[in-house]
Amino acid sequence: SQDLLRATFELGINYQFCPPRTPWFKPMVERSLRTLAEQFAHQLPGTSFANWFDRYGYDPLKESIVTLSELVHALHIWIIDIYSQTYHRGLKQTPYTAWRRAAEIVTPRTIDPDRLRLVLSKQAERVLGHAGIELHGLRYNCKDLLPWRKQLGDRIKVQIRFDPDNLGSIFALHPQTKEAMPVPCLTPDYAEGLQLHQHKLIQAALRKEGLASADPLSLARAKVRMQEVVGQLLQSRKLADRKRAARAKGAHSSKVMTTGKLPPVISEDMELPPTDNWSPPSTLPVLAHDPEGDRHE
């Protein structure tokens, strides 16, 4: 997508396109996915095995008892405490040891979390007027946008960045300086933490009932009704109903990582040391490690 190409450019990432149906063009990626599937995913309850004989007498729907937060937590443990600490036959050492040695040569660079959120957001063009900026039927405005209109005109086109997983605020880019200005939604009680997919479901429900999708009271009532329906669908015995409920509820890994349900690896409030005197950590907490090695590649 264009948003992905823009993000790689702004982050200084080089990318290469692989032709479709040519996995040999990216063997390291394919091998990594295989390792992830065999050593992590297939060890979880509810997995769908690749080979039919592995599925004999096994019902993944009945065995699927892992919640999303548990899945993300387990993935962190596997990457940090198991895979990174297991002997790698290709590297002839553990991945963590290889990383430490490389970090002594080239200091790892970090990026401000707010800057990263801006770069990874989706981009669109909207008109900035006296009522602010309209996006997906929601209004965004703040007093800091007034100097822009005084400088460039009462109605100007601006590039905006928005996070589809949280419509509570957007970024507006100054047409000349490209300064990123955070702009809150004028209905924060409704939009904060709301996903774009959820918002579209609510708008569709309001249109079906013949109600105005821009009315804050109607939006709030529809949001409450959606939450009630989701709660009922989650209790359904039908897989299709539970999938619909999970999507409407907004169950995704990025939300899990920002709800505080998992022990964070690095806190956004943590003060990082200056890179001038940076040195790699001497230890990494280990929860599980096979001393004989896995001999995986």
141-188: pLDDT as tens digits: 999 999 999 999 999 999 999 999 899 999 999 999 999 999 999 999
pLDDT at 251 over 60: no
- Cβ 163 vs Cβ 114: under 8 Å: no
pLDDT at 126 over 70: yes
- Residues forming CATH 2.40.50 domain(s) in the chain: 114-191
Weakest mean pLDDT among 2-16, 59-73, 227-241, 253-267 = 253-267
DSSP β-bridge partners for residue 139: 134
CATH architecture of structural domain 114-191: Beta Barrel (2.40)
**How many Cβ atoms sit within 10 Å of the Cβ of residue 198?**
20
- Cβ 88 vs Cβ 94: under 8 Å: yes
Per-position b or e across 150-169, b if 16+ CB within 10 A of its CB: eeeeeebebebbbbebbbbb
Kindly report the pTM of this predicted structure: 0.64
Single-letter residue type at 119: V
Query: pLDDT per residue over 44-82, tens digit each?
Result: 765 554 554 444 455 555 555 566 677 888 899 999 999
